[in-house]
Structure 1
Amino acid sequence: MDKATFLQPGAWAVIYCGQTGKFLLGKRSLKVNKGGAWNLFGGRVDRGERPKAALVRELGEEAGLVLKSRDLSKLDTVTLRQRSGRVVRDMHYYIVRANREFSPRLNNEHSEFRWFKPKQLPSRFNGPTWVAIKKGLLEKVARH
């Protein structure tokens, strides 16, 4: 990344069904950026928007979920930095606990969805999902 690059903050949901021990991921449509990659649902935080509010909006748009801010529990914030220490992006992660596996109403950003066991995750992810997995956030949710 060049020195002028700063990515908008983002917010993503780790949607977990405790009953089955599975996580919900969406597969990006080939019509959008990072097509074919699997990801957590979520996206950019618009200017002036709080991360939780952005995620409630994104979950409604991408998965047809009607949630309130209180339905989200803060999991972690990961700050990506350049070697100089300059912040490149803040990524906010929240937990959504599902009582049962459900079928989201996908918009055109996703071509499919699937519930995955932690040891059976697919291999191709978008960046924010890869960061969450690398940081152990899914395991943290499954343990608690």
Structure 2
Amino acid sequence: MRVSVWVAVVCPGTSRVLLAKRGPTTRNAGRWNFFGGGIDDGEHPEQTALRELGEEAGIHSCRDDLIYLGECASASKRNLLFVVTAEAEFEPIINHESQDWCWIAISDLLSVRRLHGPTQKLSPLVRRWVATLPPAPPEPELPPFSRWEWLKRQVGRHWPV
């Protein structure tokens, strides 16, 4: 049985996941998916996850960044899923295997047209995992300030106190 490793890059602060659109000369061209691929001979699944992230998205992580979420299997293939979190959304450096990328709300993941099969089957694992995370802290509110404070801010540091 063939084994593939997939990595979902999740930004918990925005509840969005990074997807790549397969390039026109690749298998499953035009399909949106997580980053990943097959395990090379002698490679551990975690090594595959890190290698694929680096090759396909320009993301250089370490083993401690990987969170194993589970797997799904078909008659001929076993798909393992890891997640890596990002503090903020960013622009990945995609390679020739992808023609586009996007950040998408995790709640909208299964509504994506042309979602790659393993990504579709593994998406519920990502949704369940995100649901276990504590909510993001609210943005701090700035305290109201007086006209006097406003004027001092406008003038800057040169204001005699």
- TM-score in terms of structure 2 length: 0.76
8 A Cα contact 2:23 2:97, kept in partner: yes
Distance 1:36 1:79 in 2: 23
Does residue 52 (structure 1) correspond to residue 46 (structure 2)? The answer is yes
Does residue 138 (structure 1) correspond to residue 132 (structure 2)? The answer is no
Corresponding residue to 2:95 among 83, 103, 107: 107
Amino acid corresponding to residue 3 of structure 2 in structure 1 = P
Unaligned runs of 5+ in 1: 1-5, 82-87
**What's 1:124 paired with?**
114
- Offset of residue 141 of structure 1: 2.4
Corresponding residue to 1:95 among 56, 66, 83: 83
Higher Rg of the two aligned structures: 2
For residue 102 of structure 1, give the secondary structure of its aligned residue in structure 2.
coil
**What's 2:61 paired with?**
67
CA deviations on 1:40-98 (whole Å, 9 max, x unpaired) are 011111121111101100110000111111110111022333xxxxxx22211011111
8 A Cα contact 1:21 1:117, kept in partner: yes
Does residue 14 (structure 1) correspond to residue 8 (structure 2)? The answer is yes
For residue 69 of structure 2, give the secondary structure of its aligned residue in structure 1.
strand
- Aligned-residue RMSD, C-alpha: 1.3
8 A Cα contact 1:95 1:141, kept in partner: no
Higher strand share: 1
Q: Percent identity?
A: 32
**What's 1:34 paired with?**
28
- TM-score in terms of structure 1 length: 0.84
- Offset of residue 137 of structure 1: 1.1
8 A Cα contact 2:69 2:126, kept in partner: no
Amino acid corresponding to residue 127 of structure 1 in structure 2 = G
- Offset of residue 120 of structure 1: 2.8
For residue 78 of structure 2, give the secondary structure of its aligned residue in structure 1.
strand
8 A Cα contact 1:80 1:89, kept in partner: yes
Bigger RCO of structures 1 and 2 (CA < 8 A, at least 6 apart):
1
Amino acid corresponding to residue 124 of structure 1 in structure 2 = R
